[in-house]
Structure 1
Amino acid sequence: MKWMTKNHVWGLLGWLIVLVAAIMMTPDTGKLVADKGQIKIPSTYQSVRATQMQKKWGSDQKNTTAVVAVFSNGDDKLTPAQNAAIERTIDKLKSDKSKYQIKGITTAQDSATAKQQLVSKDKTTQLVQLNVKLSKTHTRSLIRDQLTKAVKTSGVKTYVTGSDILNQDFSDATQAGVRKTEVIAAIFIFVVLLLVFRSPITPIISLLTVAVSGLVSISVVTNLVQHFNFPFSNFTQVFIIIVLFGIGTDYNILLYNQFRQEMAHGKNPHDATASAIKIGGRTILYSGLSVLIGMSVLAFAKFSLYRSAVGIAVGVVVLLAVLLTLNPFFMTVLGPNMFWPVRKSAGEGDSKLWHALGSTAMIRPILTLVVMAIVMVPLALMGHGTLDYDNTVEIADNVPAKRGFQVVQKHFSKGTAEPTTIYIQSDHRLNNEQSLQIIDRLTKQLQNSAGVKTVLSASQPGGSAIKALYVRNQMATVTSGLTKSQQGLDKINSGLGSAKQQLDGANISGGVDSANQLASGSQQVATGTSTLSSGINQVTQGVNELNAQLQNSTSGSQQAQLQQLTTALPQLNQAISSLNDQVNAASTGSTSGVTNSLTSIGSSASDIGSQLGAIQNAMKGISTPNVNAGQLVAAMQGQGANLNAQQQQVVTATIDAALKQQSQASAGLQQTLAGSLSKIGADAQNIGSSDQSVASQLQSLQGSTQQLQQAVSQLNTASNQVLPASATAITQLSGGLSQLSSSTNQLASAMGTINGNTGQLVSGANQVASGNQEMASKLSQLGGQTASLSNGLGTATDGLSKISAGSGQANKYLSGLQHASAAETYYIPAAQLKSKTFAPVLKTYFSPDRKITKMTVILKDDPSSQTAMKRLPRLEGIVRGALKGTSMNNAKVAFGGSTSQTNDINEMAAGDFSRTAIIMLAGIFIALMFVTHSLVQPIAIEGTLLIAYSGATNIVHWLVKAFLGQSMLTWNTPFFAFIMLVSLGVDYSIFLMAKYREFLHQPISTDAKMLKATTIIGTVVISAGIILSGTFAALIPSGVMTLIQVALVVIVGILLLVILIPIIMPAVMKITYPTPESRLNDDQK
């Protein structure tokens, strides 16, 4: 037990247990990066507010990621066969939407607008936009792998890209870079330590202790991330590994050199270990404390990426614990064998380079500092230029997502792949005509802004104006309609004049005379039929009496009566013939003349009725133009007209007065014309009714006359048949009474029939006479109404002439307005807003509650470029200026998309960099004060670090431009290079000043103490610098541009520090602690 304690076995066992537990409990680092390692921007920034607004769009876009499928035929146009194959692939995607968890898909086949945006102008490339569900189980890597296979199309180059896909590729590249770095760094460190200590044992022990600290640190940090949301990013793991391998090896070199030096003084392994831990351990703690402070202050950073570097502080704590508790076991147990096969423990040799530099600086310290300032300050102040915010530079060119992104930029525009989205949130619904006018006006202003390729909005969903929805085009339709209306009015006016002429030429008086003659003749017929009826009644009575006498007659009286009957029958026959002639004469009188006149009048009345109908229809189509002076003034201002309030009132009053005068004139004219037409229509209706009544009665009269004629004709025929037969019967009466009785019975029956027909004849004749009298009266009234109708038509022609002239003036005014700037005003009818054709626009550009609208802005520049970011403030100014003073004055505005997010990162990173750097330098300054017990020395040390950092950054800027083809440093290179170089580079100054303080009690001058410390520690610092530089050089094969550039800055910075520290620090010490009598020679060492 005592042996185990003496030889630090408990430390070994303890770290073995911790190591096993750490390995078993380490979460999946790749999954942590995907879930919690993404850059987080505070909610006060625009891109985050835009994301919050975007989430209100509905379930189709909530918790989704945007993916672009790219189909390309290189520089050649897509063939019909290729397009057909692409359509089949798209159909397969649509049918497998649930399989791939696709929430939305937009293709070129959806609409003409979509085709315009998703098919390149050179017809070589076609895009498909996808919204895919993103969750803990449906990760970005899974989405990328699934869709990459799903979009494969025969004969076409296919890619899957998008910002999240590119970020996932960047994360994968970083993880792969970490694995490469670990292997390369381990090999490099082993080789360097083998050369330094000339032993294979020492490198193995050093790597073992550093590896334990690295594994435990990664486990602790990742568990803190998983359970407590500890800051984490793509770079956390790789920088923990690099820092621990770098400074851990440096600390081991310092500790092992001290241990070897103590054994060279004759101490046993246990005592040498204790002395090494006491002396070297103190220096390690001082250096580790400065690094710990520098990394810990990153917890105060607001930017999540910068704050994620605080995990390095956790690693430093673990590293210090491992080195100071695990190394003693190997040193005490192995002793001199730790440096096998070398047996001689002579300690570390002196550095001739640092001795030469230090001695030269101390001879003329002020001149030395002036020369260094002349050389280094301009280099430090030259600046490294603008930074590159394009994350695609972090990814190798052979990665499919990056190749797809480059294809989109080549065949569309640089901004097409990552457009900027402007969200506008109002407190009221925006799907109305007034709001759409504001949106359209804003769309035009944005389109006219420099650097903007196109803008898609609710008013211009295809990126270009819809002409049919602008007042200019609508006025063209109105003016065309007014022209046609004016032509129609002229035609109606001509027709009314013609109708008036026809009406005036109609012979109404001739028709009235003919009707009077017809009425007189019909009256005579009625009188004749009455006389005829009386005669027939007498004959009938006589026949009946004869029949009675024949039945009861005596021979004497019968002969007298027969003789009398024989005489009366011819007279009856003559009277019937005369009646028949009168009826025929009456029926063929002036009926045809009256009928012709009535037909002519009816035709004229029909023409007049048709023309009046046309006039009424034309009147319905004529309306006063719907022009609003306020809208015209607003449109003039929207087109750039600068009008003050007084000028607006004058313009508005002038337009309103002109419109009111025109409206009153048109209304009065329409009222006059409407009254005239109404009176004319009433008269024409009365004439038509009278004409129809007369015609109807005439037809009835003609029918009755025909019945009368037929009855008289039958009577005449019957009398011609019966009377001769009766005469014969009477002549033959003497032949027998029986024959006479039979004949008289037949005569009585025939006369009864005739008597019945004459009743109908009288009734019909009276009806004809009455009808003809009424017809004559109606025709007389028709003459007066026709005169009134003619006057009304004259008034109508005058009114139509005035309306035609007014329409011409209105058309001329609107034609002039059509070419004014006010005609550019957007106007959409309310019915079209609710139509099915506008429904896709509402769904795409408005939130479900219609209170948020979005506008897609495609820039000409690279979305991640400084040029694109500088355009955002100007675009924001345009948006707020366009909304000011409108119904959307209080609307919230937020810019989303890659450019907005990059701009927010730029703004936040720049401010946070300065703030974090000050805190870090302040923390390190305090630590240096405790180490050096001075105020001047910390200032000199931090000044040296800053000069080395600035100079190294500028040199690397030149190097990457010359050898890597990158014109800019990546945006996060300066920050990570700063924290690495400052926090790690300060160790070398601490090493020097700690060694100096070891000689404080020696009886030599300050100059000699400083030069001695510089000479001794130089070898350690150079070795440590080589180790740290080599460790960071292991980042170069990772292929991640940020890691490459950070590595280069650290390497160049360490090289500068190795030269500057032995020059500046001795010169400062010489000036601070002058010792004129001191002489620098070898004896004073």
Structure 2
Amino acid sequence: MENCRIVFLVKTICFLADCIITVPLLISYNGDKSYDSLDEIGDDYGSKIGFNWIADSFNPSQTMPMTVVYQLEDEKIDSVADFQAIATITKELAEQGGVNQVRSATRPAGDVIPDFLVDEQTNQLASGIGQSTDGIEEIEKGLRDAASQLKDATPQLDEAQSGVDQLLQGTEEAKSGVGGLRTALTEIQQGIESGSKGAGEIKSNLQTIKVNLDQTVSANKQLLEGYEGIAKGLKGFGTGEIDAAQLDTMVETLEGSKQAITTMHQLAIQSNPQLQKDERYIKAHEGSIQSINGVIAGVQEMKKQLSQLSDAQTQLEQQVIAPLDQLNSGLQESISGQEQLASGIGELIKAIEQLQAGLNQAADGQAQVNNNIPSLQEGLSQLYGGQEKLKTAFHDMQGQLDELTGGLTDASDGLQEIDNGLTEVKGYLGEINTKDSNPVVIIPEQALDNEDFMEGTELYLSEDKSIVKFDVLIDQNPYSTEAIHMVDQIKEAADRASNNTIFADSQAHIGGVSSLNNDLQNVSNEDYSRTVAIMLSGLFIMLIFLLRSAIMPIYLIGSLILTYFTSMGFAELIFTQIFEYDGLTWAIPFFSFVMLMALGIDYSIFLMDRFNEYKEIQIKEALIHSMKKMGTVVISAAIILGGTFGAMLPSGVLSLLQVATVVLTGLFLYAFIVLPLLIPVMVRLFGKHNWWPFKKRMNQQK
């Protein structure tokens, strides 16, 4: 009995020792994971320094905003309704908790464009209505003034009607005077036409005289040229002098030539006697001699005639050439006088032509005046009829002005009512005031025609305008756990805001490092859960066949799970509470679980397999022998492997530090606490049922 109490006390102490160590760590463990890749390196690296500067001075999400993207299949974003849908989605995203700012096609700078606010538009409308009421008041005042002036103009219309009667009388008198004027102008026209005919006859006679005179001058000029030619020819007659000595020299030369020809003939006969028989040569020689003789005779006759010609030249100059020169001089003076007379007649003809042209123009003008007299009379008749109509119109106008005065007064009263109504509308618009924290945005038509606005949208619309994006700037670090949790919130808000818009059939996708880490978290969680299930199932099946028990695998695997979560809690306590990280790096749970389960199950197999070898002794003694035999092996292996993982601790990479911390904690916790304290308690607790449902051991005792 006393022995049982001692065993129970030992079991209780061991169990409490395990609980004291593991329970606080299990309770404090939250399972927070960090996806901040910047934490992997120290603060001394340039990329980390630059990011921290931006985070401290601006907004950490300025560099890596969360991006919401929609894509349209067969439509384009090009209408006011489409941009209004963008504004609606932007507003919904901006209203989410933790969102600092949203930049989109309608908010390129992240803030609402003032002209798009309903408050601004209503203020502009109210201002325009105020200006309209001012204008209406001016019109109303003008209408009342016009009505008053029209009423005051009635006496003036009466005076105008009396003046029209006087105009009628004057027009009738003017019509009678125009008839007498036409008769006088007709007589003047006839006199001008007679004078024009007389000037024409004078002009015709002078032209005939001038033509005959021009012909006479022309004939005289020709006669003068003939006389001058005769005189010139006679003056040259006989003036050429030929020296008689020259003629004698010519005769001598010709004689010398004849002698030379004779000498040459003789020499030719001597050299060639056959030439005497050549008739052509004989005829040529004789012909040459005869030609020279003929020339000599002609020169001698010329010498005789020249002596007679010298006497005749003197008589010709005295008796013929001198009188002929006097005749030519007189004829030249006569021709000059005739030309002057012809020139005077030409100027006279030009003057008569001008006189005739003036008389014709006067006659034509007078005719036009006479012809226009009937038109003038007709115009005066029409004027008289128009004046009668004017008189009637003045009479009718007086009655119409009375009606117009009354109409203007009514219009003024109506404008007064409109003014009052617009003033009330202006007051209603002034009462419209949306909350500054929840502004209402309306995209006007004019925005699509504004080049600056459309240029700002290019950053958020694809080139073909089928894809639109929204940059969501959150208050948190984009790598933080809070930012990752906001991804689903932003996704839900985007889907909700796109209902009943052009993006209703489009799926909202979120980009950015926060969304990437969110997807990475989902994928890693799924892989972790799948890996845990597969690994635990495989270990359980393997242990059943290896240990020939379904009970021992349960508490062995349970002890490993306890060790794993306790180690994770301890590592999380160090890195989140002491070093103030957001959590353990996202890959730590996966790799730590695999390594701790693999290493821990090995140590468990070492101990329990040796325990199964002691089949013939009691469980207590078998367990003590097993722990004596394998305790040193397990502890040695844990120390060696701990030293291996301890080599990671000086590393500057956070993930390696955390893996090393979890594995080292798990190894020492399992080797020194769980395996020597918890497993024996579980073995003693189940006793003979440890090998269920397989064959029982012999001599089994508690």
> TM-score scaled to structure 1, two decimals?
0.43
Q: Which residue of 1 aligns with 2:170?
A: 518
Deviation, structure 1 residue 450 = 2.2
Do the aligned partners of 1:872 and 1:900 also contact (CA within 8 Å) in 2? yes
| Cα distance between partner residues in 1 of 2:575 and 2:476 | 23
| Cα distance between partner residues in 2 of 1:781 and 1:380 | 117
Deviation, structure 1 residue 416 = 1.9
Q: Which residue of 2 aligns with 1:86?
A: none
Do the aligned partners of 2:133 and 2:422 also contact (CA within 8 Å) in 1? no
| Aligned AA (1:518) | G
Deviation, structure 1 residue 528 = 3.0
Correspondence 1:529 to 2:174: no
Correspondence 1:774 to 2:426: no
Do the aligned partners of 2:563 and 2:670 also contact (CA within 8 Å) in 1? yes
Do the aligned partners of 2:576 and 2:582 also contact (CA within 8 Å) in 1? yes
Aligned residues: 514
Q: Which residue of 2 aligns with 1:812?
A: 424
| Cα distance between partner residues in 1 of 2:641 and 2:190 | 159
Change (3 A) 1:782 1:457: farther
Change (3 A) 1:997 1:774: same
Q: Which residue of 2 aligns with 1:262?
A: none
Q: Which residue of 1 aligns with 2:554?
A: 939
Q: Which residue of 1 aligns with 2:36?
A: 390
| Cα distance between partner residues in 2 of 1:392 and 1:752 | 115
| Cα distance between partner residues in 1 of 2:547 and 2:164 | 140
| Cα distance between partner residues in 2 of 1:362 and 1:945 | 24
Q: Which residue of 2 aligns with 1:599?
A: none
Change (3 A) 1:769 1:479: farther
Q: Which residue of 1 aligns with 2:640?
A: 1027
Deviations 1:356-382 (A, max 9, x none): xxxx99786643554345334523531
| Cα distance between partner residues in 1 of 2:186 and 2:684 | 171
Change (3 A) 1:531 1:1026: closer
Correspondence 1:446 to 2:124: no
Q: Which residue of 2 aligns with 1:478?
A: 125
| Cα distance between partner residues in 1 of 2:521 and 2:603 | 33
Do the aligned partners of 1:395 and 1:1039 also contact (CA within 8 Å) in 2? yes
| Cα distance between partner residues in 1 of 2:85 and 2:529 | 41
Q: Which residue of 2 aligns with 1:1064?
A: 678
Of the structure 1 ranges 761-770 and 857-866, higher mean CA displacement relative to structure 2 is found in 761-770
Q: Which residue of 2 aligns with 1:894?
A: 509
SS of equivalent residue, structure 1 residue 892? coil
Deviations 1:632-676 (A, max 9, x none): xxxxxxxxxxxxxxxxxxxxxxxxxxxxxxxxxxxxxxxxxxxxx
Correspondence 1:400 to 2:15: no
Q: Which residue of 2 aligns with 1:651?
A: none
Do the aligned partners of 2:178 and 2:377 also contact (CA within 8 Å) in 1? yes
Q: Which residue of 2 aligns with 1:686?
A: none
Do the aligned partners of 2:101 and 2:472 also contact (CA within 8 Å) in 1? yes
Do the aligned partners of 1:365 and 1:1070 also contact (CA within 8 Å) in 2? no
| Cα distance between partner residues in 2 of 1:757 and 1:877 | 100
Structure number with higher relative contact order (C-alpha < 8 Å, ≥ 6 residues apart) = 2
Correspondence 1:381 to 2:26: yes
| Aligned AA (1:778) | G
Of residues 454, 457, 461, the one that matches 1:846 is 461
| Aligned AA (1:934) | S
Deviations 1:512-570 (A, max 9, x none): 23422432332332243356468879999999xxxxxxxxxxxxxxxxxxxxxxxxxxx
| Aligned AA (2:95) | N
Deviation, structure 1 residue 831 = 5.2
Q: Which consecutive residues of structure 1, in runs of 5 or more, have no partner in the other structure?
A: 1-359, 544-749, 1081-1085
Deviation, structure 1 residue 830 = 4.1
Q: Which consecutive residues of structure 2, in runs of 5 or more, have no partner in the other structure?
A: 196-357, 689-696
| Cα distance between partner residues in 2 of 1:755 and 1:1044 | 130
Where do residues 146-225 of structure 1 align in structure 2 (5 Å cutoff)? none
Q: Which residue of 1 aligns with 2:239?
A: none
Percentage identity across aligned positions? 27
| Cα distance between partner residues in 2 of 1:419 and 1:485 | 47
Deviation, structure 1 residue 836 = 3.1
Of the structure 1 ranges 448-457 and 507-516, higher mean CA displacement relative to structure 2 is found in 507-516
Deviation, structure 1 residue 423 = 2.0
Q: Which residue of 2 aligns with 1:429?
A: 76
Do the aligned partners of 1:925 and 1:942 also contact (CA within 8 Å) in 2? yes
Q: Which residue of 1 aligns with 2:57?
A: 411
| Cα distance between partner residues in 1 of 2:511 and 2:568 | 32
Deviation, structure 1 residue 393 = 0.9
Do the aligned partners of 1:472 and 1:819 also contact (CA within 8 Å) in 2? no
Q: Which residue of 2 aligns with 1:306?
A: none
| Cα distance between partner residues in 1 of 2:49 and 2:563 | 38
Structure with higher Rg: it is: 2
Deviation, structure 1 residue 1043 = 1.4
Correspondence 1:1048 to 2:661: yes
Do the aligned partners of 1:379 and 1:950 also contact (CA within 8 Å) in 2? no
SS of equivalent residue, structure 1 residue 458? coil
| Aligned AA (2:505) | N
Of residues 83, 95, 107, the one that matches 1:460 is 107
| Cα distance between partner residues in 1 of 2:513 and 2:360 | 117
Q: Which residue of 2 aligns with 1:984?
A: 599
Deviations 1:553-592 (A, max 9, x none): xxxxxxxxxxxxxxxxxxxxxxxxxxxxxxxxxxxxxxxx
Q: Which residue of 1 aligns with 2:339?
A: none
Q: Which residue of 2 aligns with 1:597?
A: none
SS of equivalent residue, structure 1 residue 856? strand
| Cα distance between partner residues in 2 of 1:1043 and 1:542 | 137
| Aligned AA (1:413) | N
Do the aligned partners of 2:193 and 2:360 also contact (CA within 8 Å) in 1? no
Q: Which residue of 1 aligns with 2:476?
A: 861
Do the aligned partners of 1:496 and 1:793 also contact (CA within 8 Å) in 2? no
SS of equivalent residue, structure 1 residue 826? coil
Where do residues 219-298 of structure 1 align in structure 2 (5 Å cutoff)? none
Deviation, structure 1 residue 460 = 1.4
Do the aligned partners of 2:193 and 2:359 also contact (CA within 8 Å) in 1? no
Deviations 1:431-473 (A, max 9, x none): 3222322332332233233211111122211111112234443
Deviation, structure 1 residue 495 = 5.0
| Cα distance between partner residues in 1 of 2:459 and 2:76 | 15
> TM-score scaled to structure 2, two decimals?
0.64
Do the aligned partners of 1:519 and 1:769 also contact (CA within 8 Å) in 2? no
Deviations 1:612-644 (A, max 9, x none): xxxxxxxxxxxxxxxxxxxxxxxxxxxxxxxxx
| Aligned AA (2:177) | V
Deviation, structure 1 residue 410 = 0.7
SS of equivalent residue, structure 1 residue 1063? helix
Deviations 1:837-891 (A, max 9, x none): 3333443222344343221111111223233333334433433333334554433
| Cα distance between partner residues in 1 of 2:420 and 2:160 | 40
Change (3 A) 1:539 1:989: closer
